[in-house]
Amino acid sequence: MSKILDKPSTRWWALAVLAMTQLVVVLDTMIVTIALPQAQADLGMTDTQRQWVVTAYALAFGALLLLGGRIADYWGRKRTFMVGMFGFGAASLWAGLSQSGMELIIARGVQGAFAALLAPAALAMLTVTFPHGKERNTAFAIFGTVAGSGAAIGLILGGVLTEFTDWRWCLLVNIFFVIIGLVGGALVLRESKAEGGNRYDIWGTITVTLGLGSLVYGFTLAEHGWGSIDTVGFLVLGVGLLVAFVLIELKVAQPLLPLRVILHRVRGGAILIQAANGAVMIGAILYLAFYFQIVLGMGPLMAGLANLAMTIAIMAFSPVTTKILNRFGPRPLMIVGPLVSAAALFMLLGITPDGNYFIQVLPALIVLGVGLSMLFVPVQNLALLNVENHDAGVASAVVNSVFHIGGSIGLAVFTVFYSSTFAGAIATGTPELTAFTDGYKAVFLAAAITMVAASVIGFSFIRGKKEELNPAWDEAEPEAAILH
């Protein structure tokens, strides 16, 4: 075993294992999107339960990602990776064999929890394996490219599996990746851990996780009325727990989230905009997939392919965004990008029950991809602006966390708009397909307003000269890029 680990080529095999891990974590956010209509019919889920199949994974992953980074650093990154991989596989098997909607939701939450161990452990080991030089740049480029393609691969793979096998294989397919990850991890990954103190912020973890969960659940209940006791109760409980989290973080010696990371104006603005990105990417795109299958009658595979235009536009426009960023700085992108995305979502308000994909949807997806690419490129750097070296990992982890947390909250709120609009349309005798379409348009309108708000945040928070809006951290420090 030691001879295998000592070979120079082992690092590149390690990169393959770690990149595959990141791919699985990312694609699992999207792979069930295409399968949800079939899963809902098979398990008899309500629309609210259907939403929670996506929300449970994203919420658990986002809320526990910071703790997962701490565990990886303190307990051992390879050990955390192996446990996370095994648990992710077991949860995937459970989810794929679920016999009820509630069982599937719980299993998806467990999946997200183990993904929160996998993701930071993988990035930390990548940083340690390639500490500097040209090989490090190459490794991170490959890792980022694979991770960035995860959403598109998830949509296509979900379509293929649902179309030609069964929706359950969208979850069971993870087992094959897990076997490769466990065997490859045992052979080519080295153990490492951070030096220094190793106190866990348990109470911070509990309050932020329960607080976010209560908040999202409260928004979900709002479809029965914003003034109901249950809705108000869970929303108030969620806010109270998050306030308690802030108070805890101010007092503990080693906080889960040092508040100085998010209280910086520019960093805080970038984090809020990233949350809006998550709401659109996870929430609005889910309902677009429903429109493709339920209203336009596309099969799962065609529905997956129909979404590809947005991903292709993001990738194609990213080099242009990079040139704009280098010349004008990030502020124009953080203001205009959300407005372009909002314009695309407003374009989707023109969909009809007998609509044409190429006329009513495709142009909007291309515009949406352009708008999102203007945000994806600068947001990570802005989140690291003027951050201390020992906080760089936390800042990076926060950006990943808020994307999924924003997606969870956004999806919950969008579902309220969908449900109320759909119910109102049905009550007035509107044909079902038209009522579905009206509900989806309500989601796109809410998403568009979210992106307009993101543009206002960009205008208000992202301030400073182009030369000043650069992250002040040294890439030569390997620990600076590790998710803590």
Q: Within this chain, do residues 181 and 282 fall inside the same structural domain, yes or no? A: no
Domain-located, residue 256: no
Domain-located, residue 447: yes
> In the predicted model, what is the mean pLDDT of residues 434-453?
97
Please tell me the distance from the alpha carbon of residue 126 to that of residue 141, in angstroms, as a whole number: 12
The widest CA-to-CA distance across the chain, in whole angstroms, is: 73
Q: Within this chain, do residues 55 and 109 fall inside the same structural domain, yes or no? A: yes
Q: Within this chain, do residues 300 and 212 fall inside the same structural domain, yes or no? A: no
Q: Within this chain, do residues 339 and 457 fall inside the same structural domain, yes or no? A: yes
List the domain range (segments joined by +) for residue 399: 261-484
Which of 155, 181, 198 delimits the end of a domain?
Answer: 198
Q: Within this chain, do residues 134 and 21 fall inside the same structural domain, yes or no? A: yes
Structure confidence at residue 470 as a pLDDT band (50, 70, 90): low
Give the pLDDT of residue 3.
Answer: 46
Domain-located, residue 138: yes
Domain-located, residue 419: yes
Q: Within this chain, do residues 25 and 62 fall inside the same structural domain, yes or no? A: yes
Q: Within this chain, do residues 157 and 210 fall inside the same structural domain, yes or no? A: no
Q: Within this chain, do residues 89 and 219 fall inside the same structural domain, yes or no? A: no
Whose structure tokens read 């040294």? 474
Beta-carbon contacts of residue 427 (< 8 Å; ≥ 6 apart): none
> Which one is predicted more confidently, 142 or 79?
79
Domain-located, residue 350: yes
Structure confidence at residue 389 as a pLDDT band (50, 70, 90): low
Mean pLDDT of the chain: 87
Residue 326 sits in a domain whose CATH number is 1.20.1250.20
Residue 146 · residue 119 · CB < 8 Å: no
Residues 171-204 have pLDDT tens digits of 999 999 999 999 999 998 888 877 666 788 899 9
Q: Within this chain, do residues 216 and 365 fall inside the same structural domain, yes or no? A: no
Residues 107-159 have pLDDT tens digits of 999 999 999 999 888 888 887 888 776 777 677 767 767 776 777 888 889 99
**Distance, CA of 309 to chain centre:** 19
Q: Within this chain, do residues 91 and 160 fall inside the same structural domain, yes or no? A: yes
Domain-located, residue 237: yes
Residue 22 · residue 139 · CB < 8 Å: no
Specify the number of domains making up the chain.
Answer: 3
Q: Within this chain, do residues 297 and 382 fall inside the same structural domain, yes or no? A: yes
Q: Within this chain, do residues 209 and 109 fall inside the same structural domain, yes or no? A: no
DSSP 181-246: HHHHHHHHPPP----S-----HHHHHHHHHHHHHHHHHHHHGGG-TTSHHHHHHHHHHHHHHHHHH
Give the pLDDT of residue 163.
Answer: 92
Residues 257-290 have pLDDT tens digits of 888 888 888 889 999 999 999 999 888 989 999 9
